[in-house]
Chain A
Amino acid sequence: MPLRALLTLTLVISGAIGLGYLLAAENPARFAWSDGIKHAEPRPDSPASHSPDLSRNPSPPPKPEPPDDALGFMLASAAQQYTQNIRYPEYSIPLSEEQAKAYRGNRFEPIELPLEGDGIFTVTLEKYRFVQDEDILVVATITGSSVVADSLEVTLESTEARRQHASSSLTRNPSEDYYEGIIQADAEPGEYRLIVEASIDGKPVRHASTLMIEPDLGEFEGVGSPRVSNNDLVIPVQFDANEPGFYALSAQLYHNGRAVAQLQDEKRLDGTTDTLELKAHGSVLANRKITGELELRHLQIRRLPARPGDRTDYGFGPEEGYSFSPPDLDGLTDSPASDPESEQRAALLHKLADKF
């Protein structure tokens, strides 16, 4: 009996010491409470990937004293990054892959509606803006333990007048666990509510999201002959606008399948001219070995609101974009752009930051 008590006591003490070791603050690598968070890997081209991983370097060697004020440091850091950014003119900025996705425009990210219990009703569209009479592919998923009917109803309703313009059904894909169907954008330009109705456990549940139907702004007629001028590769884009007005054109320049830069130009089109000129600055091209063709993708033209209260109208270039052979680019240099206003802004930001 004393031997059993001694063994038990030994086990308890050993256990306590072991648990204590596991729970020690210096032992975070071997034990930590799960936070339930799925940590994303930083992408190779994201700013985060260039950051030092502080968590892997708990005791770095002595370094110079930091500035006294942490907020001041952050402002100085922002001023420094801003100064780097304005090397590129506003009309030609470099892009990471993630920024390229964001600045393509016309992006629709899935909209989730939590259901009672553990389910989620999700609706996804290919894009946010459609042109009149275009087919709208609607995909929906419903997860959870609820009983759901084999088809869902979808309607398109104008936001302002609440008038129903089109309706259709989404049917369950027999092999996959989702519903899909097509509804036509057969309505006047404006904002519309897409309402997908499901019968879930015998009760109707409606998922409402928003899309836009855009007017026909005109026709893209291709790109003209690119040329080099003032440290820019100038790419003329012809657009035959149906109505005069101020238009903004944006597109992404690609080389070998990778986004190089976001290009943009703004101009009044009034019938006397139909050409907008996108310019890729030397700062985004000079340090690249450009071989073969360049591409313009994700062309988007906006008719800008002439007066406050007017809406912006959108049009889009051909899905395949335009490919073109650039002229000799050897004359382009990686020299900073000159924009007096941005330079003054950077100088003022540095002046603010220099106090720290």
Chain B
Amino acid sequence: MKTRKRSACKTALAVALAGGLFAGTAHAQLAGHNVVLVHGFQQEDLADPPANLDAVKSAGEDYWRTFWLSRSDARIDWGSDGRVEGNIAQQAYQQLRQISQQGLCNDYCIVVSHSTGDLVTRYLLENQARWLQAEGLQPLRILAAIDYSGAGGGTELADLAMSIAYNDSWYNWPLKQAVRAFTGIEPEPGKLGVVNDLQTNAARNLAVSPNNIPRLRFVAGGSSYGGITKPFIAGTDDGVVPTHSACGATTSSGIDSCSSNLSLAGKVSSQNGPSDLYYNHFPILMNEGVSHSGVLGSETGNISVPVVNNTTLNGLQVDFASRTYNKRAWWQWWGSGDRYVEVPGSDQTDMSTLVYNTLNN
């Protein structure tokens, strides 16, 4: 989820500049493949539902402006006031159809999703081939999805939003403030749009069949909304999405890391990790400091950690010792401290730039 500032002028200007669906540049590929962006929950849509698809596209364009917009070839934009199996599917399909007609994915696209975009992507991947073929169109060929802070497993904040919507205004003030921060509105039944689909049980019962499209997961663990949402999310989280969802864990039980050996901060230690992952879900990097929206390129200074679960590659035992470092906590009077694993230099950049530059080098 990412908040945006909307004004009539800005919207009109953006629509005029966009001039159609595809806002990317002509050579905006990632590792030689066209990039399709699928954004996350936009809370402004609950308070002020977009008037039409142009407004949805304009907001979608703004969503990615920090980094990915100029590095993309197409977007699938959707209004957060709708439901995945409803308006969202209809809006998304109009754009899927255009992507197919233009042949943008004939040589395999890479999908970059953020937050609820993970859930929307999963639903579209399950249905797109049948819908497009029914119109005589070529299904999109997807190489992989890069999922930042993926909310495909739902968030407890959405569970709580349902209960808050049905309770009186006096109820549990801190919880209510957390839900208001997440939704941007005073929750009411019938006005929660895609938040309904983000309930943990709803999300984990929607289009979960295994498939052969690899999902590369990038996990954040920082604070959003001044930290007021964190106490209400199971396990660790990025202020919006729990780690169990971002990693691709098979249950919504709270976990602290995607690995049972490494913390989000990279500390080599026993962790409450996922008991298992959904098929073809591969956690790649974790970053304890970056916030939910910061993964999209706005936050630097945070160390990314490779989710090392298996140090054997092509039969070669890889020793990460050369990029581990030891850190002494304030209470440790002497000695070398705990072992940490990190992506060297990752604190000098943001998570989006890190991935983009690595793949395009």
Q: Is B323 an interface residue (CB 8 A)?
A: yes
A28 to B344, CA, bound (A): 25
Interface string of B65-105 (1 = CB under 8 A from A): 00000000000000000000111011011000000000000
Contact of A48 among B216, B252, B274, B341 (CB under 8 A): B274
A66 to B252, CA, bound (A): 34
Nearest B residue (CB) for A78: B282
Q: Is B47 an interface residue (CB 8 A)?
A: no
Question: Known: A209-B199, A344-B108. Contact between A28 and B338, CB under 8 A?
Answer: yes
Interface string of A86-126 (1 = CB under 8 A from B): 10001001001011011101111101111110000000000
A40 to B277, CA, bound (A): 15
Question: Known: A85-B279, A103-B210. Contact between A64 and B316, CB under 8 A?
Answer: yes
Q: Is B8 an interface residue (CB 8 A)?
A: no
Contact of A51 among B251, B261, B318 (CB under 8 A): B261
Find out whether the CB atom of B172 lies under 8 angstroms from the CB atom of A109. Answer: no
Nearest B residue (CB) for A28: B338
Find out whether the CB atom of A342 lies under 8 angstroms from the CB atom of B163. Answer: no
Nearest CB of A to B348, in Å: 14
Question: Known: A25-B338, A90-B212, A210-B201. Contact between A99 and B250, CB under 8 A?
Answer: yes
Find out whether the CB atom of A24 lies under 8 angstroms from the CB atom of B335. Answer: yes
- Could you tell me how many residues of chain B have their Cβ less than 8 Å away from some Cβ of chain A? 113
Complex interface: chain B residues within 8 A of A96 (CB): 276
**Which residues of chain B from 330 to 361 have any CB-CB distance to chain A below 8 Å in the complex?**
331-339, 341-344, 354-355, 358-359, 361
Find out whether the CB atom of A206 lies under 8 angstroms from the CB atom of B268. Answer: no
Q: Is A47 an interface residue (CB 8 A)?
A: yes
Complex interface: chain B residues within 8 A of A33 (CB): 331
Stretch at the interface among B14-22, B35-43, B51-59, B303-311: B303-311
Complex interface: chain B residues within 8 A of A345 (CB): 108, 143-144, 212-214
Find out whether the CB atom of B275 lies under 8 angstroms from the CB atom of A342. Answer: no
Nearest CB of A to B39, in Å: 18
Nearest A residue (CB) for B204: A107
Interface string of B195-208 (1 = CB under 8 A from A): 01001111011011
Nearest CB of A to B353, in Å: 12
Find out whether the CB atom of A75 lies under 8 angstroms from the CB atom of B284. Answer: yes
Contact of B212 among A115, A262, A341 (CB under 8 A): A341
A77 to B309, CA, bound (A): 10
A326 to B209, CA, bound (A): 25
Find out whether the CB atom of A352 lies under 8 angstroms from the CB atom of B359. Answer: yes
Complex interface: chain B residues within 8 A of A75 (CB): 216, 284, 358-359
Stretch at the interface among A171-179, A274-282, A304-312: A304-312
Complex interface: chain A residues within 8 A of B253 (CB): 109
Q: Is A286 an interface residue (CB 8 A)?
A: no
A42 to B253, CA, bound (A): 14
Q: Is A328 an interface residue (CB 8 A)?
A: no
Nearest B residue (CB) for A311: B85
Complex interface: chain A residues within 8 A of B45 (CB): none
Question: Known: A20-B333, A25-B334, A111-B159. Contact between A90 and B232, CB under 8 A?
Answer: no
Question: Known: A40-B275, A82-B280, A349-B144. Contact between A67 and B318, CB under 8 A?
Answer: yes
A24 to B333, CA, bound (A): 6
Find out whether the CB atom of B251 lies under 8 angstroms from the CB atom of A98. Answer: yes
Interface string of B234-278 (1 = CB under 8 A from A): 000000000000000011110110011110000011111111111
Nearest A residue (CB) for B262: A54
Nearest A residue (CB) for B332: A25
Nearest A residue (CB) for B323: A70
Complex interface: chain B residues within 8 A of A23 (CB): 331-333
B interface list, Cβ under 8 A from A = 31, 33, 85-87, 89-90, 92-93, 108, 127, 130-131, 134, 141, 143-144, 156, 159-160, 162-163, 165-168, 170-172, 175, 189-190, 196, 199-202, 204-205, 207-214, 216, 232, 250-253, 255-256, 259-262, 268-280, 282, 284-285, 304, 306-311, 313-314, 316-323, 326, 328-329, 331-339, 341-344, 354-355, 358-359, 361
- 18 pairs, A vs B, C-beta closer than 8 Å: A25-B328, A26-B335, A39-B271, A39-B272, A43-B276, A45-B276, A47-B310, A54-B261, A71-B285, A74-B282, A77-B282, A78-B284, A109-B252, A111-B200, A112-B159, A113-B159, A128-B202, A309-B85
